[in-house]
A = this chain, B = another copy of it.
Amino acid sequence: MAQMNMIQALNSAMDIALGRDPSVVLLGEDIGYFGGVFRVTDGLQRKYGQHRVLDTPIAEGGIIGAAIGMGVNGLRPVAEIQFADYIYPAYDQIVSELARLRYRSAGAYSAPVTIRTPCGGGIRGGQTHSQSPEAIFAHVCGIKLVMPSNPYDAKGLLIAAIEDDDPVLFLEPKRLYNGPFDGDPAKPAVPWSTHPKGEVPEGHYTVPIGKAEIVRPGNDITIVSYGTMVHVAQAAAASLGLDAEVIDVRSFVPLDVDTLVASVKKTGRCLIAHEATRFGGFGAELLATIQERCFWELEAPIERVCGFDTPYPHAFEWEYFPGQARVATALARVMEVR
């Protein structure tokens, strides 16, 4: 076991994948010689060469188009989109092509492409470096979709994604790259070495895609969350002294419905928290799924705490961010209902 932050864990996952399987290649903007703007691919081109770790033109659509062709020709491409906010130029290649190739060709062709991209706010990135686009991919059939909330899961899920024969979109909550973040920007930064999930095996292991994790068992209420908000939610529940069951969704597609439903059936209450804008966000699907299955057990309406339905504004980052106070207020409200 080693201490790793999320950047190191992701780097280690790719290092292992490149080392084990000669068909794994990486491609993306600034990922090669430079090692990526967040340094997630640092050192990999030096180790595996320019023909397996490719710097690319700044053309997200071209990157994914080319990655699909590479995947069809027997490679396992891992493409980086520099920020999730810049994935839209590749939207057509992802949803019309990558996600549908196996289906439309009845399994004759498929492309095991993994797309990694940093998402989420909290780094003063303004409206074009802070987005959380999971919902617009979750609705698309044919692509798996995951987001880790800690280094251990990051490495295990990324190896699983690369080894998966289906395409996987892998969202990296960049606010967590260097340490867990409980939503309070005034507090000094905490490194991953202070967190149990900062203990990461050096070798190969996988975290299965499609399984949520109960990060804190509890009985009062179920908090369903993912990415950065997992940590915020835990802190908010703790601040109220609640015995909350906190679930890290981890995998949007496939979604681990059973874990969610079992928890809400037990607690009878549920709060959903995410950073993405509320309207039409993934929280709506979570809420709908739980309502459909736990209607009779619910003691209070399920609530959502989300980003406001505006772009992520540079000057109002911490008013926008659904921080501890907002989560705690909602938790208290849901708990109040008798």
Q: Which residues of A are at the interface with B, using a C-beta cutoff of 8 A? A: 61, 85, 88-89, 91-92, 95-96, 100, 103-104, 127-128, 135-136, 138-142, 253, 255, 276-277, 279-285, 287-288, 291-293, 295, 298, 300-304, 309-311
Contact = CB atoms under 8 A, between A and B. Distances in A.
Contact of A311 (B104, B280, B303): B104
A135 B141 contact: no
**SS of A interface (majority):** helix
Contacts of A89: 61, 92
Contacts of A287: 284, 287-288, 291-292
A279 B139 CA distance: 6
Contacts of A85: 96
Nearest to A277: B141
Contact of A310 (B103, B279, B291, B295): B103
Contacts of A280: 135, 138-139, 282, 284-285
Contacts of A291: 287-288, 291, 301-302
Nearest to A95: B88
Given A284-B285, A284-B288, 18 more contacts: A88-B92, A100-B311, A103-B127, A135-B136, A135-B280, A136-B140, A138-B280, A139-B276, A139-B279, A139-B280, A141-B310, A279-B285, A280-B282, A284-B287, A287-B287, A287-B288, A291-B301, A293-B301
Nearest to A304: B288
Contacts of A303: 292
Nearest to A133: B139
A276 B285 CA distance: 14
Contact of A279 (B103, B104, B138, B281): B138
Contact of A292 (B139, B285, B304): B304
Contacts of A295: 298, 300-301
